[in-house]
Amino acid sequence: MDRRKFLKGSAILSGLLTLSPSDLWSFGKNSETSGTGKAKNIIFMVSDGMSLGTLSMADLYSRNILGKGSNWFNLYHEKKVTRALMDTASASSIVTDSAAASSAFGGGIRVKNGTLNMGANGEKHLPIWQQYKKAGKKAGCVTSVTITHATPAGFCVNSSRRNAEPQIVEMYADLELDVLLGGGDEFFNPSKREDKKDLYSVYRQKGYRILKTQNDLKEIRKGEKLLGIFNTGALPYSIDRAHLQEFKNTPTLAEMAHTAIHQMKDHPEGFVLQVEAGKVDWAAHANDVAALIHDQLAFDEAVKTAIDFAEKDGNTLVIITTDHGNANPGTIYGTEATKNFNSISDYQYTNEYILNKIQKEHSVKDIKDWIYEANKIVLNDEEAKHMLSFYNGLEKEEEGLYNYKKLPFKLYSDIQKSRNSVGWISMDHSGDYVEVAAYGPGNELLQPFIKNTDLHDLMLKACLI
């Protein structure tokens, strides 16, 4: 044995053993990308309900089908970010909902599931975007679901009920947040609200430009406050937007994020922005693999938008994470696993769209033809008959969050599983630890293992207030 090589290797090993866990976590990190000093801006990005399997499958699909790695994983490969695992529990459970999770980020405390920044005794914890607004910064939220949904609301308001969305709209108006982009026309439109209040008029009186379509994003003027409401309910899933003409004039998450950043970036005191891919969570609740992967990739494009800006700006902290896992999807071992997974590229629509098109009057052949057209899946007669039995009332209706029409999501995902080698543990949230990445000034504050409330403290330490 070469004694000099042995001694050199021993010295390296002993040096590694003297490092703290934090040092080991960031070992090999490019020091040029480490944050230093204080951030002027924050972009906080949440892929709602993103289990690690979701992140992994989106990267795998991107590499196998699109021929490129995902933007999130490229940040790891290029050592541009610090990275952590995060415990997502709420005050009432090891498995959180989005309201309690967002309150951990926004209010800095763990609250019971279903509440927004409200303590056990009714005490209100000041949401972080309000803190930054009072300090002179601009503040905004962007989401692919309703703008009043739990994740954006957790950064902005206090409420004992996350479902109080008609009231949250009015709270936003009082706060005069600078940019609000997402869905939820039913909470602004007097013809759809129970109290008949015209919240669009309220926002107009406060100086907001109202946006309704993708084309409207081209008409904004610098310095305007923006309220963009692009759908009743949530925005369409990304895969349906790509293939259905009726959704072509709906902006992507990346387009909305770009609009929000550029509307606020020149403010002398800086800005804070939350960007949420809310329908990743909805897709996981439905065990809908095509919806899940394509909305995660839409989030990934928004990540690129944020990082591209932050790299040029030099004063922006970008935090990329999720609020909790959901359904823990993943690829399953087998001789045809790769081929089966890649077959997802043949899927043209979400399961929601596919199943909504089936009617009880359809024949077995009709269903087999439609499923082949939509997913290139060849059903056998028994599978087609089983699906049809749901529409004829012969099977018990499926429940599930966001399954408003009681569609047979579980049945159909099981059929897909036998062809695409993707499995699910449930149709609901999970308590697994999740990924966090941070780029820019203050990213050095991110420790290897954190609680969700730690991100609240990190933002306040990293960004001037």
Contact 106, 156 (CB under 8 A): yes
Q: Is 151 annotated as a binding residue?
A: yes
Mean pLDDT of 361-370: 97
Q: Is 429 annotated as a binding residue?
A: yes
Q: pLDDT tens-digit profile of 85-122?
A: 999 999 999 999 999 999 999 999 999 999 999 998 89
Mean pLDDT score of the chain, rounded to an integer?
A: 92
Q: Is 428 annotated as a binding residue?
A: no
Every domain of the chain and the residues it spans: 38-329+428-462, 349-423
pLDDT reading at 303 higher than 90: yes
Report which of residues 2 and 181 the model is more confident about.
181
pLDDT at position 368 is 98
How far is it, in rounded angstroms, from Cα 223 to Cα 214?
19
How far is it, in rounded angstroms, from Cα 220 to Cα 212?
12
Contact 357, 391 (CB under 8 A): no
Sheet hosting strand 208-211, strand order edge to edge: 208-211, 225-229, 179-183, 138-146, 271-277, 41-47, 316-321, 434-439, 82-87, 449-451
Catalytic residue among 47, 98, 159, 238: 98
Q: Is 288 annotated as a binding residue?
A: no
Kindly list the distances between the CA atom of residue 59 and the CA atoms of 66, 70, 335, in Å, as whole numbers in the listed order. 10, 5, 21
For residue 44, give the nearest of 319, 424, 342 by alpha carbon.
319
pLDDT reading at 210 higher than 50: yes
Amino acid at 405: K
Q: Is 323 annotated as a binding residue?
A: yes
Q: pLDDT tens-digit profile of 114-148?
A: 999 999 889 999 999 999 999 999 999 999 999 99
Provide φ and ψ at 67, rounded to 5°. 80, 25
Contact 283, 54 (CB under 8 A): no
| Annotation marks residue 98 as catalytic | yes
Q: pLDDT tens-digit profile of 418-463?
A: 999 999 999 999 999 999 999 999 999 999 999 999 999 999 999 9
Contact 229, 147 (CB under 8 A): yes
pLDDT reading at 3 higher than 50: no
Predicted model pTM: 0.91
| Residues in a beta bridge with 47 | 277
CA atoms within 13 A on the CB side of 287: 25
pLDDT at position 393 is 81
CATH architecture label of 38-329+428-462: 3-Layer(aba) Sandwich (3.40)
pLDDT at position 19 is 37
Contact 328, 424 (CB under 8 A): yes
